[in-house]
């Protein structure tokens, strides 16, 4: 029997101000379920993370959360956390990112803040350095990532990112389009 393929999704622990972001998280959950893909994510039950994990769990999919010990206090007593397929508690944010990478066959970013940006850029850097060759993409829900995509294109035109490394990141407006674009 083949092992379940998993997608690591980076996203916000906040829902953001635009309801379209939560819609994109639910759509990502359904797109994963429709493709029989498991979810690896940051382990929190709040914000877009909670919306996404809840959608996949409600649909009967596999959800693996990876949460640093230092963040467990924020999650203590939240019943949603107990409903995950598996919760891996790790020592540090560095171990969290490595564990998420090790468990995943591809990476997707939904809207989020500094942590999401950092995770996306680190996983892109790992690909650029040849540490992994897994596909990477972002869901540009409601145009959220337009400024970042413009910045990356500007970095290419200014000679700081090669065209081939810029092509490591795919983008699409919807989760289904993105999963197709990155080969799932």
- Among the listed residues 35, 71, 46, the one whose alpha carbon sits nearest the alpha carbon of residue 178: 35
Q: What is the mean pLDDT of residues 44-49?
A: 92
Residue entry with tokens 């107990």? 82
pLDDT-derived band at 2, boundaries 50, 70, 90 = low
Tell me the average pLDDT of the chain: 93
Q: Is 143 helix (H, G, I), strand (E, B) or coil?
A: helix
Residue 50 is predicted with a pLDDT of 94
| Helix ranges, 62-161 (H) | 72-75, 79-82, 93-103, 114-128, 146-157
- Among the listed residues 139, 135, 165, the one whose alpha carbon sits nearest the alpha carbon of residue 152: 165
Whole-number Cα distances in Å, 167 to 9, 28, 127, 139, 182:
19, 22, 11, 15, 11
* Percent with pLDDT over 70 in the chain: 93
Model pLDDT for residues 103-132, shown as the tens digit of each residue: 999 999 999 999 999 999 999 999 999 999
Bridge-based pairing state of the strands 86-90 and 38-41: unpaired
Spans of all domains in the chain = 6-181
Q: Which of 3.50.50.60, 3.40.50.450, 3.30.70.3270, 3.40.50.970 is the CATH number of 6-181?
A: 3.40.50.450
Residue 77 is predicted with a pLDDT of 46
57 DSSP β-pair partners: none
Residue 75 is predicted with a pLDDT of 59
Q: Is it the case that residue 82 has pLDDT exceeding 60?
A: no
Instruction: Please give the DSSP secondary-structure letter assigned to residue 72.
Output: H
For the packed helices 93-103 and 114-128, what is the interaxial angle rounded to 10 degrees? 60
């Amino acid at each position: 029997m083949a092992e379940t393929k998993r997608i690591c999704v980076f996203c916000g622990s906040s829902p953001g101000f635009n309801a379209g972001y939560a819609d994109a998280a639910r759509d990502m959950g359904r797109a994963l379920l429709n493709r029989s893909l498991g979810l690896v994510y940051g382990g929190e039950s709040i914000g877009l993370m909670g919306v996404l994990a809840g959608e996949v769990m409600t649909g009967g999919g596999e959800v693996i959360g990876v949460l640093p010990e230092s963040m467990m206090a924020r999650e203590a007593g939240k019943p949603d956390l107990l409903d995950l397929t598996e919760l891996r508690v790790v020592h540090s944010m560095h171990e969290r990112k490595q564990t998420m990478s090790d468990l995943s066959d591809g990476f997707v970013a939904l809207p989020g803040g500094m942590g999401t940006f950092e995770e996306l850029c680190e996983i892109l850097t790992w690909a650029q350095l040849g540490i992994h060759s897994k596909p990477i993409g972002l869901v540009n829900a409601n145009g959220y990532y337009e400024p970042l995509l413009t910045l990356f294109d500007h970095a290419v035109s200014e000679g700081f990112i090669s065209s081939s490394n810029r092509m490591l990141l795919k983008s699409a407006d919807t989760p289904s389009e993105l999963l197709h674009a990155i080969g799932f």
